[in-house]
Amino acid sequence: MNKDIRTYGLLFILLPLLQITVFNHIHFLGYINPYIYIIFVFVFPIRDNENTLLILGFLMGLFLDSVTNEGGIHTFALVFIIYIRVGFLRILTNKIDFDKEIHSITDVSTSLQFLWVILLTLIHHFLLFFMEQFSFHLFGKLLLKTFLTSIFTIVLIIFGFQFFLKGKSNA
Amino acid sequence: MWKIYKFFSNNKKGLLFILLESIALVFIIQTHNFHQGSFINSANAISGSILKKTHNLSSYLSLEKQNKDLVKENESLKNLLSAQTYKPITASPIDSLFKYEYIAAQVISNPYTGLNNILTLDKGKNNGIKTDMGVVLPNGIVGITLNVSENFSTVLSILNVQSKINAKVKKSHHYGSLHWDGGHYQQAVLEDLPIQAAIQVGDTIVSGGKSIIFPEGIPIGYISDFKLGKKSYEKIDITFFADFSALHHVYVVKNYLKDEQQSLENLSKNE
């Protein structure tokens, strides 16, 4: 447990810093930056601690929003996917005793892991860009930006999974 | 605080979710409100110093280009000065000489991929910066200061869909308003230009004298394309002179006569 606190505490500090110092300056195709900090939501253990994660996500979002001057868009999108993440996984895995069997994303098959990450990333990015624009004007552009940025983020997160979750599998 | 946390962590997840999302929503709505800076902004000590450290590291990579730009600007200023010496002073020089003061600052955060871009400068109250001051380049307008702390300030970028800046066609002195539509960072749109203004592709657009924030005549960009409607111009595309993806040294404009002009204008409005 102590080891967990140390690992996720470190991630909680490092991920936003990495985001603002490196990944906010990618400007792929002129306007695409991946949002890798959401990997925190995916690797965080799935136990009876969703409220802690909500608070942590809220603080992380506020920090990112204050540095980038984007109001509350990161906070809003991040808290939203944290709220729905367990329910989503429950639906995807379709397990009856979900609470007993699943404690981490590594307890789920790889294809379901990817599906979960892809769906949550798409929702996060859509909310992020929608809140930034705050209107339905230019909706096509919004969807395109969501789609392109999501691809970039998902690829990086899947790479990140190899790194974070190595040796943590339930084998 | 711990008790509040305990209360929520023992109670429903939904309640906490709704609370946090409403706080975030309040901040979002606040940023979409033009004349008000956001409560959470990068002009605080923590964000400011992180941004400054990152900027210090990355700006080494472009030092050569920055130097070239500064030398170029120096050259044009020196040429202007030598031309001035041999000119007899005609009109009262005082208003043009002492109306504006320029404060040099560095851009430590320069987002340009979003729709509501807000820059951060490494100067603040301690250097004489206040809210609603213009921020300019030798070849462009950068934005207007928003939140100011002791050592940092944020700037509502011209690349923000909420920005609107008074501009005019240099040769014909017809006024319009410049507006960024969220597209490419080199492109903007000129609106409300009267049909009487005969324009051509390539015409220079400069800042208009109607604003009390920006000095008149700062070059902004040129007309890259336009469509003529029946009674007015349908769309006028502007390409900026300045490269907003690589901003380093900028100048904050302090207008000494701003208060006087503003109070006079208010007085006339009330009458």
DSSP A61-129: HHHHHHHHT-TTHHHHHHHHHHHHHHHHHHHHHT-TTHHHH-SSGGGS-HHHHHHHHHHHHHHHHHHHH
Residue B160, both tokens: 């923000």
Regarding whether B146 and B25 lie in a shared domain, the answer is no
Pure H helices in chain B: 2-10, 13-31, 45-59, 63-85, 94-98, 258-270
Across the range A13-19, mean pLDDT stands at 94
- Hey, which of A112-116, A117-121, B172-176 has the most confident mean pLDDT? A117-121
Regarding whether B107 and B14 lie in a shared domain, the answer is no
Regarding whether B175 and B232 lie in a shared domain, the answer is yes
Q: Which of the four pLDDT bands, split at 50, 70 and 90, describes residue A134?
A: confident
* Residue from B248, B33, B255 nearest B129 by CA: B255
- Give the burial string for B118-147 (b: 16+ CB within 10 Å, else e): bbbbbbbeebebeeebbbbbbbbbbbbbbb
Asked if residue A150 belongs to a domain, the reply is: yes
Regarding whether B111 and B6 lie in a shared domain, the answer is no
Cα–Cα distances in angstroms (integers) from residue B181 to residues A144, B28, B47, B133, in the given order = 17, 20, 28, 23
Q: Which domain holds residue B10?
A: 2-31
Residue A162, both tokens: 């190899």
Give the CATH number for residue A52.
Answer: 1.10.1760
Beta carbons within 10 angstroms of residue B15's beta carbon: 12
Q: What is the ipTM, given to two decimal places?
A: 0.89
pLDDT single digits (tens) A39-96: 999 999 887 778 899 999 999 999 999 998 888 999 999 999 999 999 898 888 887 7
What pLDDT does residue B123 have?
Answer: 93
Q: What residues in chain B have their Cβ under 8 A from chain A's Cβ atoms?
A: 5, 8-9, 13, 16-17, 20-21, 23-32, 38, 40-42, 44, 47, 50-51, 54, 58, 109, 111, 113-116, 118, 120, 154, 182, 184-185, 245
Regarding whether B27 and B53 lie in a shared domain, the answer is no
Return the H-helix or E-strand segment holding B166.
strand B164-169
Asked if residue A70 belongs to a domain, the reply is: yes
Q: How far A161 CA lies from chain B's nearest CA (Å)?
A: 27
Residue A34, both tokens: 């991946």
Q: What does DSSP say about strands B249-255 and B153-160: parallel, antiparallel, or unpaired? A: unpaired
Q: Which residues are CB-contacts of B92 (< 8 A; sequence separation ≥ 6)?
A: none
What pLDDT does residue B204 have?
Answer: 93
Q: Is the pLDDT of residue A170 over 50?
A: no
Decide if B109 contacts B55 (C-beta within 8 A). yes
Residues in chain B with pLDDT < 70? Answer: 5, 7-11, 34-38, 84-98, 271
CA-nearest residue to A33 within chain B is: B113
* Residue from A117, A156, A142 nearest A34 by CA: A156
Regarding whether B130 and B64 lie in a shared domain, the answer is yes
What pLDDT does residue A171 have?
Answer: 36
Asked if residue A170 belongs to a domain, the reply is: no
Q: What does DSSP say about strands B204-207 and B219-228: parallel, antiparallel, or unpaired? A: antiparallel
Residues A38 and A127: their CA atoms lie apart, in Å, by 13
Look at residue B107 and give its three-state secondary structure: strand
Q: Which of residues 92-121 of A touch B (CB under 8 A)?
A: none
What pLDDT does residue B202 have?
Answer: 92
The number of distinct structural domains making up chain A is 1
Give the CATH number for residue B225.
Answer: 2.40.10.350
What pLDDT does residue B86 have?
Answer: 60
Residues of B in Cβ contact (< 8 Å) with A80? 21
Regarding whether B207 and B189 lie in a shared domain, the answer is yes
Regarding whether B24 and B97 lie in a shared domain, the answer is no
Regarding whether B109 and B20 lie in a shared domain, the answer is no
Q: Which domain holds residue A154?
A: 2-164
pLDDT single digits (tens) B185-212: 999 999 988 888 888 999 999 998 777 8
Q: Is the pLDDT of residue A1 over 70?
A: no
Beta carbons within 10 angstroms of residue A46's beta carbon: 19
The number of distinct structural domains making up chain B is 2
What pLDDT does residue B252 have?
Answer: 94
Q: Is the pLDDT of residue A167 over 60?
A: no
Residues of A in Cβ contact (< 8 Å) with B48? none
What pLDDT does residue B91 have?
Answer: 52
What pLDDT does residue A28 have?
Answer: 86
Regarding whether B90 and B195 lie in a shared domain, the answer is yes
Phi/psi of residue B56, nearest 5 degrees: -55, -40
- CB atoms B25 and A50 under 8 Å: no
Query: If you ran DSSP here, which 8-state letter would residue A25 be given?
Result: G
What pLDDT does residue B89 have?
Answer: 54
Asked if residue A133 belongs to a domain, the reply is: yes
B9 → closest Cβ in A51, A80, A138:
A51
Q: How far B85 CA lies from chain A's nearest CA (Å)?
A: 45
| Cα angle B121-B124-B45, degrees, rounded to a multiple of 5 | 80
Phi/psi of residue B100, nearest 5 degrees: -115, 145
CA dihedral defined by B112, B162, B241, B97, rounded to 10 degrees? -120
| Cα angle A21-A27-A30, degrees, rounded to a multiple of 5 | 160
Q: How far A80 CA lies from chain B's nearest CA (Å)?
A: 8
Residue B119, both tokens: 């820059």
- Single-letter code of the amino acid located at A72: G
Q: Is the pLDDT of residue A168 over 60?
A: no
Asked if residue A169 belongs to a domain, the reply is: no
State whether the Cα torsion A88-A93-A97-A98 is positive or negative: negative
Residues A99 and A102: their CA atoms lie apart, in Å, by 6
* Residue from B11, B15, B13 nearest B3 by CA: B11
Residues B200 and B143: their CA atoms lie apart, in Å, by 26
- CB atoms B25 and A72 under 8 Å: yes
Residue B110, both tokens: 């320069």
Regarding whether B220 and B190 lie in a shared domain, the answer is yes
Residues A2 and A117: their CA atoms lie apart, in Å, by 27
If one compares A5 and A154, the residue with the highest pLDDT of the two is A154
